[in-house]
A and B are shown apart, each in its own frame.
Chain A
Amino acid sequence: MRLTVWTYDGPPHVGAMRVVTAMRGVHYVLHAPQGDTYADLLFTMIERRDRRPPVTYTTFKASDLGADTAALFKETARAAYERFRPQAMIVSPSCTGELIQDDPGGLAKALDLPVPVIPLHLNSYQRKENWGAAETFHALVRGCCRGRTYEPKPAGARPTANILGPAALGFRHRDDQVEVRRLLGLLGIDVAVTAPWEASPADLARLPEADFNVVLYPEVADTAAKWLSRTFRQPFTRTIPIGLNATRDFLREAAELAGVDPAPALAAVEAEARMPWYSASVDSTYLTGKRVFIFGDATHAIAAARVASEELGFEVCGIGTYGREFARDVRAAAERLSLEALITDDMLEVEEAIAAARPELVLGTQMERHIAKRLGLPCAVISAPVHVQDHPARFAPQMGIEGANVIFDTWVHPLMMGLEEHLLTMFRDDPEFHDEAAPSHLGPAAPAPVAEDTADAALAWAADAEQELKKIPFFVRGKARRNTERFAADHGLSTITIETLYDAKAHFGR
């Protein structure tokens, strides 16, 4: 048993729901007790979908357990087929359904429905949401491509690719696939099928016709892409086009797979991208070396680390993921940054790591947003799970050229703008700007500032040094305190004087 208040991942059948809800013409019959329909509202409320997820629940109750839950399943599956007439169905037990040991696959087979029925084995007590999504997508692709064979394409045909991975309830999946379709268009590559996003089973059956696959989210599409690669000799892209450097690499990779020249597309990146100039402009100078802590799913965490260090000039001071399936990739990314990756799904551990790393910006999920709020740190969201506000009405991809523009705005916004920082320092002795003054919009009842903790209890601050420290603007004071204490410890000093403060400043000055 594991004591849990919150979870980064839902159970695996929610992953299955994310795949079928993204698709058209597939229906999911879930052998589940009353109450599991709660998951519907993730799609209707958080993602604001205008229709119910294509899921029917058997809704068994305690009184059914002594009787025939298997018959209930068959009845429900038949009725769901009659009502929705899908092109294909998937069936599985939810976590409680696993315990009562009916076999939805076998029972559905006995119904002899005129469409493919694909059984899922989701291991609810071992696996989680993303795994469930990947497994479901893989099972559907296999089921729909049954009987297909590899056929070489006629010479001279335009290159084609499938886009794999965008699912319901994905972080910016809706807009990412639009932006990536545009990138492929710049290369002269046609998109054959995008899946699971708005794809039907008939579309999945056409997957083998494309030259290669573009994997946007390995968490959802890696298993299926590997199977397609084994079965139909379809290679797939490994670069996730988040950030401009990654977008350029992606264009080169896709161009090579398609046998086309990437130069025109790369030129378009230079012509259209605003992010490099924004990042180079003098107002961004204060971003240099800002310490950033990154946590999320593996794909977004790795991509964010690259953008932060290569394109915004941040210092990555921590990186981690809750997705154990891709922990190895995050460890490798951490190693490149001389860090040790944090692999955990325990929010308290993440909170401890963030507090210890003392970042100036946190990039994470909705959990990290709340941690950052508690610690008084700026934060931006880079990965699921997210609340409703991160399924925005406006076009807001993370991938490609526009994605880089979105990322620049989103990450920089919570940090104080350079001019603001400069003015605050200049005016810090004015009555409005001294550091106990509350922001004017909060009125007189603003909360008291959070007490600063001292890293080392053995170090004492002389009173005048403490006074001097208070003159430093509050948003850099933590760093000054930390640096001074480290300097004092390194030099064997037990009392910190004004001299020590300025010695440390000279030592660490940037």
Chain B
Amino acid sequence: MTPFDRADPAPPATGCADTPPVLRERGQHAVFCGLTGIIWLHRKMRDAFFLIVGSRTCAHLMQSAAGVMIFAEPRFATAILEEQDLAGLADANDELDRVVDRLLARRPDVKTLFLVGSCPSEVIKIDLARAAQRLSRRHLPTTRVLAYSGSGIETTFTEGEDACLASLVPEMPATKAGSLLVIGSLPDMVEDQFARLFAAMGLEDTAFLPAREAFALPAVGPGTRVLMAQPFLAATAKALEDRGAVVLSAPYPFGAEGTEAWLRAGAEALGVSPDHITAAIAPGKARAAKALASAREKLAGRSVFFFPDSQLEIPLARFLAREMGMRLIEVGTPYLHRRHMAAEMALLPDGVTLSEGQDVDRQLDRARAARPDLTVCGLGLANPLEAEGLATKWSIELVFSPIHGFEHAADLAELFTRPLTRRALLAHAQDQSTRGPEPCASS
């Protein structure tokens, strides 16, 4: 018996998969658009460059989201539309060709160039897909040019990654061989950990999309079994299914439980025996269980409220409820894809409110009324809620940090314990200073 087994009570009764009460809301969304996905995608795909066709607002958003990364020669930029570009569509294409030629001349190392659509470029209907075809003809075999939309009118935050990966799928070579394909960009360290675990089960040729070099794409075909490492990849999954691949249903690899179920789903689909899987994952699972025990002491019984942000909310809430013993008040997600979330919903405790979409002011009213112990939300809301006395965890960090798999389960838990620990420390210190020094124990 591991320490984790002792700490974990019988799983709560579940019912969300059968009767999921989902609150659907329409109103102001306090979320990022899909362009922000570029921030982590360009780090992952080292041979890729992302050229946004958009406005000064898009460039300003990227600058605000990228922080100091903007000064480290990042592989993204914005072709800012100006007054004259709005006048006629013909010269918008000429202008784009000029900008791309100049860019590729400056950055000859770029092998995949993504033209990324924005709200302005979508509204004035610049056909970036056709532009990508035209530019590909001009720049292949050195550089492949693809297009997708990261606009706010079509995509929310992480959906930008979905749109990007979906644009890669038609370029993937065909295969008839049976193999496992993991989709969703993961920090290199996490990807290596998963690759080692699958290799230990005999699945040496597990492929990842995106790969570190986007130009060398993995193959896909009827034998491909797709394991989603991230929940926000509906369009990519659909595109892979159109190529004959089979998308597996599994919880997402967060926490010890999620990681085990996810690894099992992938390996079993490739015919690995359950015993073999158990043996391969045993050390990692034991380490995760041990590392999670202390976090559970800090989180058990506390309530948590999720504002929508990344579509990671439901899997993370499942982890916090089942492995950390937290109480879920409301779990908001920008978009709820029932099929890809089915395995997660089956594990959610009864009585949780799910919400899809957002009316931020109404949702803030609900959060204020519920007074959760911890509120997971974006940076525009976090400080204002802290000022109102609510402890918050800013959600963007959950997308940028390594949190998947056994080895990072405790890091994931720590992201939620730290704000509570800090709050307790500061309150304690304040308490001490108003009471004066503690009387000496010996006196």
Give residues in A with beta carbon < 8 Å to B: 1-7, 9-11, 13-14, 33-42, 44-45, 48-52, 56-62, 64-65, 76, 79, 83, 94-96, 99-100, 124-126, 128, 367, 370, 387
Shortest CB-to-CB span from A23 to chain B, Å, is 17
Other than A35-B31, A94-B57, give 17 A-B pairs with Cβ distance below 8 A.
A2-B82, A3-B78, A5-B78, A7-B59, A10-B56, A33-B153, A35-B35, A35-B152, A37-B28, A44-B383, A49-B383, A52-B384, A95-B120, A96-B120, A96-B152, A99-B124, A124-B55
Tell me if A56 and B56 are in contact (CB < 8 A).
no
Q: Which residues of B contact A14 (CB under 8 A)?
A: 57, 60
Q: Which of B74, B85, B124 sits near A5, CB closer than 8 Å?
A: B74
What are 27 A-B contacts defined by CB distance under 8 Å? Answer: A1-B92, A3-B79, A3-B80, A4-B59, A5-B70, A6-B63, A6-B70, A7-B59, A11-B57, A14-B57, A33-B119, A33-B151, A33-B152, A35-B32, A35-B151, A36-B33, A37-B28, A40-B30, A44-B382, A45-B379, A51-B384, A52-B380, A59-B27, A61-B154, A76-B27, A96-B57, A387-B68
Shortest CB-to-CB span from B131 to chain A, Å, is 12
Q: Which residues of B contact A4 (CB under 8 A)?
A: 56, 59, 77-80
A503 to B22 CA separation, bound complex (whole angstroms): 83
| Given A48-B383, A96-B119, A370-B71, A11 and B99 contact (CB-CB distance below 8 Å) | no
Closest to A43 in B: B380
A79 to B55 CA separation, bound complex (whole angstroms): 28
The verdict on B346 contacting chain A, using a C-beta distance below 8 Å, is no
Tell me if B70 and A34 are in contact (CB < 8 A).
no
Which residues in window 47-72 of B have CB below 8 A to A?
53, 55-57, 59-61, 63-65, 68, 70-71
Ranked 9 nearest A-B pairs via Cβ: A35-B33, A35-B152, A40-B380, A50-B387, A96-B119, A370-B71, A95-B55, A41-B379, A33-B152
The number of chain B residues touching the other chain, given as a range, is: 35 or more
Q: Which residues of B contact A35 (CB under 8 A)?
A: 31-35, 61, 119, 151-152, 156
Q: Which of A6, A34, A83 sits near B156, CB closer than 8 Å?
A: A34
Q: Which residues of A contact B119 (CB under 8 A)?
A: 33, 35, 95-96
Closest to A127 in B: B56
Residue from A3, A35, A49, A100 with most neighbouring chain B CB atoms (10 Å)? A35
The verdict on B361 contacting chain A, using a C-beta distance below 8 Å, is yes
Q: Which residues of B contact A100 (CB under 8 A)?
A: 123
Tell me if A7 and B63 are in contact (CB < 8 A).
yes
Q: Which residues of A contact B83 (CB under 8 A)?
A: 125-126
Q: Which of A44, A94, A128 sits near B384, CB closer than 8 Å?
A: A44
Tell me if A38 and B56 are in contact (CB < 8 A).
no
Tell me if A5 and B77 are in contact (CB < 8 A).
yes
Closest to B106 in A: A3
Q: Which residues of B contact A7 (CB under 8 A)?
A: 56, 59-60, 63
Tell me if B383 and A50 are in contact (CB < 8 A).
yes
Q: Which residues of A contact B60 (CB under 8 A)?
A: 7, 10-11, 14, 39
Binding site secondary structure of chain B? helix
Contact with A along B20-31 (1 / 0, CB 8 A): 000000011111
Shortest CB-to-CB span from A509 to chain B, Å, is 38
Shortest CB-to-CB span from A447 to chain B, Å, is 15
The verdict on B7 contacting chain A, using a C-beta distance below 8 Å, is no
Q: Which of B53, B78, B86, B153 sits near A125, CB closer than 8 Å?
A: B86
Tell me if A1 and B384 are in contact (CB < 8 A).
no
| Given A34-B33, A35-B61, A1 and B99 contact (CB-CB distance below 8 Å) | yes
Q: Which residues of B contact A3 (CB under 8 A)?
A: 77-80, 99, 102-103
The verdict on B95 contacting chain A, using a C-beta distance below 8 Å, is yes
Tell me if A125 and B57 are in contact (CB < 8 A).
no
The verdict on B241 contacting chain A, using a C-beta distance below 8 Å, is no
Tell me if B384 and A2 are in contact (CB < 8 A).
no
Tell me if B120 and A1 are in contact (CB < 8 A).
no
A210 to B63 CA separation, bound complex (whole angstroms): 41
A341 to B55 CA separation, bound complex (whole angstroms): 28
The verdict on B420 contacting chain A, using a C-beta distance below 8 Å, is no
Closest to B67 in A: A387
Tell me if B384 and A36 are in contact (CB < 8 A).
no
Tell me if B86 and A99 are in contact (CB < 8 A).
yes
The verdict on B378 contacting chain A, using a C-beta distance below 8 Å, is yes
Q: Which residues of A contact B29 (CB under 8 A)?
A: 34, 37, 57, 59
The verdict on B197 contacting chain A, using a C-beta distance below 8 Å, is no
A44 to B377 CA separation, bound complex (whole angstroms): 13
Tell me if A44 and B380 are in contact (CB < 8 A).
yes
Contact with A along B382-416 (1 / 0, CB 8 A): 11101100000000000000000000000000000
Q: Which residues of A contact B373 (CB under 8 A)?
A: none
A241 to B71 CA separation, bound complex (whole angstroms): 32
The verdict on B354 contacting chain A, using a C-beta distance below 8 Å, is no
Q: Which of B27, B70, B95 sits near A1, CB closer than 8 Å?
A: B95
